């Protein structure tokens, strides 16, 4: 007597569909190498750093961008650590990667749940911030960011 098969529950079928959808890749990486290099060269310093964290291919493409003497400074204020980046070829601009504690009682506009960019222009000087969440292990995050930057810079 043949075994009777029971239909799969909808949950299992839906879970398999979700796995298939999650394999979508970042479309910019499908561009030809020359076009991709042109795109990356037009990115901001912080955008190039974030782009290099996407994948091994993105990191290898970011390595091809030539940086002019980038100064890196570490510091902290109000217990929020930061990395300060300055380019000798662009003295009016400063890029700051800050590891900030996001508090629930702060306004949602000032303290979103995810990382965000902010720029401040003061006369000829400009400061560009990338705020990352301080999950209590900001020193390890800073080490990882420095290792990544050293490999692409």
Query: Is residue 101 domain-resident?
Result: yes
**Those residues with Cβ within 8 angstroms of residue 119's Cβ, 6 or more apart along the chain or in another chain:** 126, 127, 128, 129
Give the three-class secondary structure for 27: helix
Query: Is residue 6 domain-resident?
Result: no
| Contact predicate 132/98, CB 8 Å | yes
Query: Is residue 71 domain-resident?
Result: yes
- Count of domains forming the chain: 1
25 alpha carbon, distance to own chain's centre: 16
**Those residues with Cβ within 8 angstroms of residue 78's Cβ, 6 or more apart along the chain or in another chain:** none
Give the three-class secondary structure for 130: strand
State which H helix or E strand residue 34 sits in.
Answer: helix 33-41
Query: Is residue 130 domain-resident?
Result: yes
Residue linked to tokens 């209590």: 136
| Contact predicate 74/98, CB 8 Å | no
Query: Is residue 9 domain-resident?
Result: no
State which H helix or E strand residue 128 sits in.
Answer: strand 125-133
Query: Is residue 105 domain-resident?
Result: yes
**What is the domain extent for residue 112?**
25-152
Q: What is the pLDDT along the chain (153 residues), one digit of tens a residue?
A: 566 665 555 555 555 555 555 555 667 788 888 888 888 888 888 888 888 888 888 888 888 887 776 788 888 777 678 888 888 878 888 988 888 776 544 554 555 667 788 899 988 899 998 888 777 777 787 788 777 777 776
Query: Is residue 17 domain-resident?
Result: no
49 alpha carbon, distance to own chain's centre: 6
Query: Is residue 112 domain-resident?
Result: yes
Q: How much is the pTM?
A: 0.63
């Amino acid at each position: 007597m043949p075994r009777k098969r029971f239909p799969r529950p909808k949950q299992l079928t839906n879970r398999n569909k979700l796995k298939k959808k999650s394999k979508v890749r970042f479309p910019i990486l499908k561009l030809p190498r020359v076009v991709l290099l042109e795109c990356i060269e037009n990115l901001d310093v912080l955008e190039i750093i974030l782009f290099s964290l996407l994948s091994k291919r993105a990191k290898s493409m970011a390595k091809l961008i030539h940086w002019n003497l980038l100064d890196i400074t570490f510091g902290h204020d109000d217990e929020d650590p930061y990395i300060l980046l300055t380019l000798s070829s662009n003295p009016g601009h400063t890029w700051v990667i800050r590891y900030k504690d996001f508090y629930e009682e702060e306004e949602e506009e000032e303290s979103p749940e995810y990382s965000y960019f902010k720029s401040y222009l003061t006369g000829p000087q400009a400061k560009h911030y990338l705020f990352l969440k301080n999950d209590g292990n900001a020193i390890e995050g800073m080490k990882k960011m420095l290792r990544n930057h050293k490999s692409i810079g």
